[in-house]
Structure 1
Amino acid sequence: MQNNRKFQLIHIFLMSILILTGCHFPQTPLETIPAASATLTATPPDPTHTAEVPPPTLTPTVTASPSPTPPPPTATPTPVLVYHEPGEVVAPILLYHHIDGDDYDNRYQVAVPDFRAQMQWLYDHGYTAITISTLVDVLLEGGELPEKPIVLTFDDGHLSVYEKAFPIMEEYGFPGVFYIVANRINGSPDFVDVEQIKTMLDAGWEVGSHGYSHLDVTQNHYAAEYEIAQSKYDLQAALEAPVNTFAYPYGLIDPYTATMVSNAAYKAGMGLGVSITHTWGNLFYLNRIEIYGSDSLEEFAARFAQNP
């Protein structure tokens, strides 16, 4: 029965992708896409064919730092649990990159005082952080979630997340989800290593894949299998932990890429967006709300005002 449900879900997802293709994705007919495979011993891509993806344009806006926040709680209250039928879950999924410094620097770097103030705001307003696997399992099968769930995700594997965000979130009892670029975990400067990731996993965090080398696979289909499937295999082997979800580099997706993520046995794919409502139809492109370094505390809260 579970296999039938999985087949129905993938069928719903693929039909949704086909419907949305004309509006959001390159005009590549799905029938022309080569059959995907999740073989985990793929040959690495030829680097001479890799298309370089330019970094996003930064448009910072300087704002005042938030007012000092109260000290962190000494105990986390037990959340009220609410049962959800399968098929839809309402929960903000937030996206961060760097957590560092005492002041605003750029869009992708949230200052440490601002981040602490945001965690305090979430705590004061009754939010409970959950992992993405918890959200996806309830979306697929139904089950209980805290009354006001939220998922806190971090892309790229920056060391600043381990050094600055992780201890603050520990004070509030908030786990996070860390999307790691697989070829950066063996001593790359400014990125977390295996032992640091394992420390976070032991504290209740979850790890997902952000590709093998952070390549835009929508422009490099020849490398999709290695970037998507091999990254999952390597991370699971190194961390001795499941890797259930894939975060598309740059938030970019097309039908072929989504099919590859599904075929590699990921439970869900993580994208960008503003919605806090997640359904079977967008299981492989769940909306994540990016938090900018320039956000005031009021702007931070307004990003998911649909669920005050």
Structure 2
Amino acid sequence: MKTLTLRKILLSVVITASLTPHLIQPTRAQNQFVALTFHDVRDDVKKQGDHDVYAISTRNLSSFFDWMKANDWTPITLKQIQQAKKLGNPLPKNAVLLCFDDGALSSYLKVFPLLKHYNVPAVFAIPTSWINGNTQAAYEAYGEGNLMTWSQMREMQASGLAEFASHSHDLHHGILANPQQNQKPAAISYQYFPEQHRYETDNEFKQRIYHDLQQSKQVLDKELGGDSQAIIWPYGAVTTEVAEVAKQAGFSMSFSLGQAFTNTNQQTGTYQRALIMGNPTPEQIAGSVRSAGKYVSEPLYPPFRMIHFDLMKLETDLQDESEPSLGRLLQQLEVLKSNVLLIDGLAKPDHQGPYQKAYFPTFHLPQSVDMLSRIAWQARTRVGQLVIVNLPIFPNVYKPDQVVDLARDAARFNPSINSISLDSEQFLDCLWTDQITTFECQNNVKTVLHLQQRIQEAIRPYLDMSSRYFPSLKVSVGQAQARAISQAIHQLQLEDSLLILEIDVLKQPQVLHDLLWAIDQLTDQKKKHIAIHLTTPETLNDVQGQILRQSFLLLREHGIQKLGITPHHLYSGEAIHRQLYSVLSLNDSPMTYKNFNHDSNGAAQ
């Protein structure tokens, strides 16, 4: 895969601040700042549909500088952020950190003259190997000869208006990250060695990152003088684990991409930046900047349309290079316009007894084909899905903590997943009986919540900070009184978690009625943290489809906006599309409606 294509994929899947503001607030509190990320600046960028979606026109950038001046917004420096954090120096009101990534020549020819004209500072993130001759990726992104030189950067730095940060030495690319040849961000992905049929060890991974960052810092310090302190991660891809490695390499400041791009001067860890895309007008950028002051990252804002899929159905498929079943799944997700894919991380071939293998690298169970990495990445990059990995509470009843170790490995090799869901299976069935108030049942609830907390602590170092993440708990709801369901929801629902309730309305229609009563006892905010999955049969007939459709409509009427089906069967895709599209699809325009395609083999790419 060429680097230009990879650049588009990797940046496009970063969950960044939208240029349509969520909330508008005129000003931000003192000692907060927003960070904005620009790339190439050209005179001829199209208003829409430019070949480089990350480019902004010289006119729009200049107009945005005018807007900042007129509205008392103050561009700040890395040094000011450091002094605010270490010495308590206040940041100016409406502080903005302007960042220009990749070392494109336009930073010198277009941006630097604007900095001098408006007398404002900016930060330039430099992939040092690109400047020193490793130009293939840079030329694919920006064209031959379109990089700055060190002498140009020294001239910019001498003006006092330009600061320079590392964009790594040679991590601005993808590396082979699984046996199926997917390329993922080099800074957060464990490299796969096909000749040896293995992944990097923890030590090999950390040493690779450390040596790259150390080399980048040495080059920056030698060419520009001083002591460079900031790492601006390629593609915004960074985990807590690699941020710690960066500190060891000498970088005290770390910058990612993400939604919560309002930062404080006392913030620990990595700062987030908003990615500027689509050649926005000053008004569009301004709206996004205004919203940042009050914007609090809400990873569980509705709606979700969720598909639960068993990876066992694709296991033999990945032995076929064309991967027809994977392609068919991706095609069905795209046509349906769902946005969340929940996939099982472990296999239980006979659906009874212990789990026998994992779909990701781990020492705790035998490994099947490394399907999780492949499918999660394809679903995320090809059809825009959030990915939840579902793990059973007790994969082995004789090892009650095993799920924590498995979750850690799943996240380590898949840092961009959006959630790990703890599936309680039958462990909480007592909630739907008269045993709900017993010590044993309440102890089971405490065990589940404690394991969920331990999972979050275990995986936190490995999660990509630029991805949208939320904890999840999955529970099957049995036949029970409405008040029992309400009590169970109250006990299981955590403030920052998604509670996935699975019900079988075809076999137990009364459960839906009781669940609706329990839902009505919840506030609108708590309803945002509830997802309802309806069990679907392998072959969906018209009567069953009508029951499911009416059930989804009732759930929506009662304020539930996270809806899903479990499990999804590939060969019932046409029936689901025909009967449930109106209630499950997030498509809101007839112009983007797609018919179900019977003929495509859906080969994965």
TM-score, length-scaled by structure 1: 0.68
Alpha-carbon distance between aligned partners in 2 of 1:254 and 1:149, rounded to the nearest angstrom: 26
Decide whether aligned partners of structure 1 residues 53 and 232 sit closer, same or farther in structure 2, where only a CA change above 3 A counts: farther
| Separation (CA, whole Å) in 1 of partners of 2:232 and 2:65 | 23
Please report how far the alpha carbon of residue 235 of structure 1 lies from its aligned counterpart in structure 2 after TM superposition. Answer: 1.0
CA contact (8 A) 1:133 1:244 kept: no
CA distance in 2, matches of 1:52, 1:159: 17
How many Å separate the matches in 2 of 1:190 and 1:299?
28
**Gaps in structure 2 of 5+ consecutive residues:** 13-28, 136-144, 174-185, 191-204, 295-605
Q: Which amino acid aligns with 1:290?
A: L
1:281 to partner: Cα distance: 7.7
Pick closer, same or farther for the CA change 1:52–1:283 going to 2, 3 Å. Answer: farther
1:151 pairs with 2:86: no
Q: Percent identity?
A: 25
* 1:124 maps to which of 62, 70, 79: 70
Question: Are 2:6 and 1:54 equivalent residues in the alignment?
Answer: yes
Instruction: Report Cα offsets for 1:226-272 as digits up to 9, x if no partner.
Output: 22111111110111132110011111112331111111221210001
2:257 counterpart (272, 282, 289): 272
- Counterpart selection for 1:293 from 254, 278, 281: 278
- Per-residue CA deviation, residues 70-105 of structure 1 (Å, 9 max, x unaligned), is xxxxxxxxxxxxx97xxxx31111110101123322
Work out which of the two has the higher radius of gyration on C-alpha atoms and give 1 or 2.
2
Equivalent position to 1:173, from 119, 132, 138: 119
Q: Map of 1:80-229 to 2, 5 A cutoff?
A: 89-104=31-46, 105=50, 106-186=52-132, 189-204=145-160, 205-213=162-170, 214-215=172-173, 216-220=186-190, 221=205, 222-229=207-214
Number of aligned positions between the proteins: 231
Deviates more, 1:135-144 or 1:162-171: 135-144
CA contact (8 A) 2:60 2:282 kept: yes
Shift of 1:298: 2.0
Give 1:170 deviation, angstroms.
Answer: 1.2
CA distance in 2, matches of 1:136, 1:53: 36
**Aligned letter for 2:92?**
P
Superposed displacement of residue 56, structure 1? 2.5
Residue matched to 2:235? 250
Evaluate the alpha carbon distance shift between residue 55 and residue 103 of structure 1 in structure 2; reply closer, same or farther with a 3 A threshold. closer
Please, what is the CA RMSD of the aligned residues?
Answer: 2.6
**TM-score w.r.t. structure 2 length?**
0.36
- Which has the higher mean CA deviation after the structures are superposed, 271-280 or 154-163? 271-280
CA contact (8 A) 1:175 1:203 kept: no
Secondary structure of the structure 1 residue equivalent to 2:120: coil
Change (3 A) 1:226 1:90: same
**Distance 1:300-1:280 versus aligned 2 partners, 3 A rule:** closer
- State how far apart, in whole Å, the 2-side matches of 1:303 and 1:243 are: 30
The amino acid that maps onto 2:6 is P
SS at match of 1:91: strand
Q: Contact (CA 8 Å) 1:159, 1:192: kept in 2 or not?
A: yes
- Matched residue type, 2:66: Q
Asked whether 1:233 is paired with 2:213, we answer no
Flag the 1:100–1:283 CA change in 2: closer, same or farther, 3 A: farther
Task: Please give the secondary structure, in 2, of the residue aligned with 1:177.
Answer: strand
SS in 1 for 2:226: coil
Query: Gaps spanning 5+ residues in structure 1: where?
Result: 1-50, 60-82
Counterpart CA distance in 2 for 1:283 and 1:197 is 29
- Stretch deviating more after TM superposition (222-231 or 167-176): 222-231
- Report the 3-state secondary structure (helix = DSSP H, G, I; strand = E; otherwise coil) of the residue aligned with 1:256: helix
Give me the whole-angstrom Cα distance separating, in 2, the residues matched to 1:182 and 1:109. Answer: 21
| Greater relative contact order structure (CA < 8 Å, 6+ sep) | 1
C-alpha distance in structure 1 between counterparts of 2:123 and 2:95, whole Å:
14
Kindly provide the amino acid, as one letter, of the partner of residue 256 in structure 2. Answer: G
Between the aligned partners of 1:299 and 1:130, the Cα distance in structure 2 is 21
CA distance in 2, matches of 1:165, 1:280: 26
Residue type at the aligned position of 1:91: F
